[in-house]
Every structure is written in C-alpha cells, then in structure tokens.
C-alpha cells in the first residue's frame, strides 16, 4: 500500500513546469534570471482578489435601482471646477445666510447630543406647526415627523404604507428623485397629464376609474420641473375627487415660501377635512439642502407608523441639524431671510427670461414662473437630448435634460434660476443656444 501511495503522489515534471509558467504569467512568481524564481511582493493581494465574492452579482441584484446614467453624470459633474450649472435646484452659495448661521452656531448650547424622541426634537416640531399655521395648516406636534430631507418621507411612505405593485399616480413630468424611490420600492407609476394649471383632473378621474385607488403624488406649488402652480379652483376640485375616491395624497410643498410677487393659493393640506393629505416640506429650498431637515405631516396614526420605521432605519435625523433648524425658526430668521432670497430669485428670474427672449425665442417656448426655481424650456424641434447634454458638457455647461423627468421627453430642458450667478447665466444661456442651433 505504501507503493500505491507513492505512485498516486508521483507528479509529472512537465506539470510542475507548466504550473510555474502560469504563476509567472499571473505575476505570483517572478523570475530573476540566474538568481532563480521568487514569490512576488504582491502575491497575497493577488491571491486575496481571486477569493473575492462575486460583487458584480450583488451589485446587479440590489433592490434599489441605480440612477439613470445622465443623473449619475450630473451628480458627478456638478463638482467639477469651472462647470456652469444651469439646472441645479439649490440656492447659489453667494445667497447663503452666513451671518444668521454663524449667529446660531456661536450661541448653541449643547447639553447632550443623544438620540431625539421618535418623531424628532419636540421644540422643532412645535416651531414647524407654528410656521405651517401661516399656510392655514393647523397641526399638533404629534402629527409632524422630522425627516432627513423630504425625500426621506417618500421612502418611509413607500415602505410603510404601500406594497410592491401598488400604483402611484404622478404628474407627467414630475420630480425625478421621487419617481425613483417609488419605482425602487416596486410601485407602478401611472402618469397623469398636466396643463398650464397643473394636473389634468379629467385624466386623473379616467385613470382612477380604471386602476383603483392607491396614492397620488403631486407638487401643486411651483412644480418641479415645470414651475407650474395649480390654481385655487383646481385645488378645490382635486380635493373633491380625493374624497370621492378616498384617495390618499402626498402633497410635496418644497417651494411653498418662494413666491415672487403674489402668494400662491393655500396648500391642499389646508383644505383637508377628510385627513387624506400627507404633507411634506423641507428647509432645502428656502435655507439649506445640506442641513437635511424636512418634515411630513399627516394623521397621528400614520405619523407614528412612519416615525417607528425611521427609528428602526436611522434613529432619527441629526440632533445638531434639528437644533439649528429650531433656532432658525425660533429667532425669526426664516421669515427675514425669505424676504431677501425671494427678491434675489425674482431679479434672477427676470434676467433669465430676458436672456431666453434674446437667445431662444425663435427655437423654444417657456412659461414665466411666479416663484420657485425652474423654467421649463421646450424646444420647437425634437433633438437628441443626450447628445446635446454631452455637447454642452464639452463647453462646461451642465444642463438637466427633460427626459430625466419624463421618460418620453425629447425636446425640453429644465433651467434653474437659483444656482448659477448672473454672469454665468448670461454666458451659459447664450452658449447653450449656440450649441442647440447646430441641431437645427
């Protein structure tokens, strides 16, 4: 039996030499001429990499869908030096309320930095109730949950109140990041047409009759991306439909404060005597997106459920951010800051409208906004928008093409008046018109 074992262990010389050659070709071994063959220094990392899990498989199978390529590119190029950001939905850095924020930061007393209670820092929720009463929305602090930006409220709704396969009715076009959240949670989106006053109620009614009632997501005030405001009579009619169909509604009111000359009609939530509206708001557009402070208001049972999920998923929003937001409201800075912010946005909007008249009137149409950040520019001809996006990038212009808000859109661009400076807007809009003309 010893002989048999020896035979079984007998290895052919050429097999060994083949193995050595293979290890050399993979860089595990290196041959140093007459000095012999040595194990390479990085052998261990090479061996470790061959035993890695199959990350590709994991990357592909995750529940949350990746962003569209264009959006990934926008997220990346926003931070490239010298880029003129014609689509960014953020207040430009020169309008940031540095003095108020420094004042708050230097007077903050930190007794602790522990977790807050499940619905968030109570004095902040009280301050938000007081702030919302300006919009005729009367709430108790128990009906308000602090979230890390209002986008998070949509995630919580998706996983807390809906099932995969539920239908969410959305405006066509609509805010792209909301759409992704619903889609990744497995919701079916049903697009409802819009006209110049917002959602088309006949189309909504028709689709509700066919698809049953799940939830409606709407941005009635300074809609993203079109800037449209739903008029008062349409808001009343929409509330009637909502009651008739017992349809829960998410009202996204991110731009509520930002009117230029005349306040928009009061939010749907202020007319909500049936408890149908889940109302989301945020400090991202009227103060700071980096603070990550938003809120959702609704009936106590819904808010408690969403707060319970928030505790399980992130233990509440940053205590420091909540404290800053409380001081921001409590010291009256919010009200004061809006006055200057709105007047700057109003004059930037005037500038952009003038620039559009000069450089775009023969090639595009647009609506004059009365507030918010956006102008939806529709070209008179369909062009390859991705190609335009890439061409603009070569000239250091970053634009938000319409197809990221509406999957069939091939001739619109969302311009933002908020981020680029006056001189950037002057150069950028002229240059963009030159680039577009090459497609005509």
Contact positions toward ligand PMP, by CB under 6 A? Answer: 89, 149-151, 175, 219, 224, 252, 254, 282, 284, 289, 294
Tell me the residue nearest to ligand PMP as measured from the CB.
Answer: 149
Minimum Å gap between C-beta 43 and ligand PMP is: 47
Query: CA 218, 224, 225, 231 torsion: positive or negative?
Result: positive
Minimum Å gap between C-beta 222 and ligand PMP is: 9
Question: Which uninterrupted H or E stretch holds 397?
Answer: strand 397-398
Minimum Å gap between C-beta 181 and ligand PMP is: 10
Cβ proximity to ligand PMP, 264 vs 294, nearer residue: 294
3 state SS of 148:
coil
Minimum Å gap between C-beta 112 and ligand PMP is: 26
In this structure, the dihedral spanned by the alpha carbons of residues 311, 141, 233 and 376, taken in order and rounded to 10 degrees, is -50
Cβ proximity to ligand PMP, 219 vs 303, nearer residue: 219
Cβ proximity to ligand PMP, 90 vs 116, nearer residue: 90
Pairing status of strand 397-398 against strand 194-195:
unpaired
Cβ proximity to ligand PMP, 359 vs 414, nearer residue: 414
Task: Tell me which residue of 240, 246, 231, 245 sits closest to 199, measured CA to CA.
Answer: 231
| Strand ranges of the sheet holding 249-252, from the earlier edge strand across to the other edge | 144-147, 294-297, 277-282, 249-252, 215-218, 167-171, 188-192
Minimum Å gap between C-beta 185 and ligand PMP is: 16
Cβ proximity to ligand PMP, 151 vs 385, nearer residue: 151
Cβ proximity to ligand PMP, 374 vs 403, nearer residue: 374
CA–CA separation, 263 and 13 (whole Å): 88
At residue 171, φ and ψ (nearest 5 deg) are -70, 155
3 state SS of 367:
coil
Structure tokens that stand for 248 in this block = 């829960």
Cβ proximity to ligand PMP, 28 vs 309, nearer residue: 309
Minimum Å gap between C-beta 152 and ligand PMP is: 7
Cβ proximity to ligand PMP, 255 vs 389, nearer residue: 255
Instruction: Assess contact for 86 and 420: CB atoms under 8 A.
Output: yes
Contacts (Cβ under 8 Å, ≥6 apart) of 202: none
Minimum Å gap between C-beta 303 and ligand PMP is: 17
3 state SS of 364:
strand
Minimum Å gap between C-beta 225 and ligand PMP is: 8
Cα 62 off chain centre by? 20
CA–CA separation, 298 and 310 (whole Å): 15
């Amino acid at each position: 039996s010893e002989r048999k074992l020896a035979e079984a262990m007998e290895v052919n010389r050429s097999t060994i030499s083949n193995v050595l050659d293979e290890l050399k070709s993979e860089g595990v071994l290196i041959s140093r001429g007459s000095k012999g063959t040595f194990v390479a220094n990085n052998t261990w990392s090479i061996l470790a990499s061959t035993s890695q899990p199959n990350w590709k498989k994991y990357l592909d199978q995750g529940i949350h869908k990746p962003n569209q390529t264009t959006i990934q590119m926008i997220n990346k190029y926003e931070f490239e030096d010298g880029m003129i950001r014609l689509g960014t939905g953020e207040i430009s850095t020169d309008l940031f309320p540095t003095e108020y924020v420094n004042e708050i930061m230097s007077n903050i007393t930190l007794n602790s930095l522990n977790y807050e209670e499940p619905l968030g820092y109570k004095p902040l929720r009280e301050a938000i109730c007081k702030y919302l009463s300006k919009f005729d929305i009367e709430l108790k602090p128990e009906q308000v949950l602090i979230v890390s930006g209002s986008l998070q409220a949509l995630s919580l709704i998706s996983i807390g109140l809906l099932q995969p396969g539920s239908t969410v009715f959305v405006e066509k076009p609509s805010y792209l990041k909301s759409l992704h959240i619903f889609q990744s949670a497995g919701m079916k989106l049903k697009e409802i047409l819009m006209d110049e006053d917002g959602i088309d109620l006949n189309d909504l009614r028709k689709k509700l009759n066919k698809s049953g009632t799940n939830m409606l997501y709407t941005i009635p005030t300074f809609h993203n991306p079109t800037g449209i405001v739903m008029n008062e009579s349409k808001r009343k009619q929409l509330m009637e439909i909502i009651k008739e169909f017992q349809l829960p509604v998410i009202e996204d009111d991110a731009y509520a404060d930002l009117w230029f000359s005349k306040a928009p009609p009061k939010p749907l939530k202020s007319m909500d005597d049936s408890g149908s509206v889940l109302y989301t708001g945020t400090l991202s557009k009227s103060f700071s997106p980096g603070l990550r402070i938003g809120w959702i208001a609704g009936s106590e049972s819904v808010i408690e459920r969403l707060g319970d999920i928030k505790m399980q998923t992130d233990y509440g929003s940053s205590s420091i951010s909540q404290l800053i937001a409380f001081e921001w409201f409590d010291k009256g800075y919010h009200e004061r800051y809006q006055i200057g912010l709105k007047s700057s946005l109003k004059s930037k909007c005037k500038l952009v409208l003038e620039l559009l008249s000069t450089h775009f009137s023969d090639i595009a149409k647009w609506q004059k906004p009365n507030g918010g950040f956006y102008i939806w520019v529709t070209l008179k001809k369909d062009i390859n928008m991705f190609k335009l996006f890439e061409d603009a990038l070569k000239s250091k212009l970053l634009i938000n093409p319409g197809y990221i808000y509406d999957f069939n859109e091939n001739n619109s661009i969302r311009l933002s008046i908020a981020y680029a400076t006056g001189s950037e807007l002057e150069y950028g809009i002229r240059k963009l018109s030159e680039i577009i003309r090459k497609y005509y």
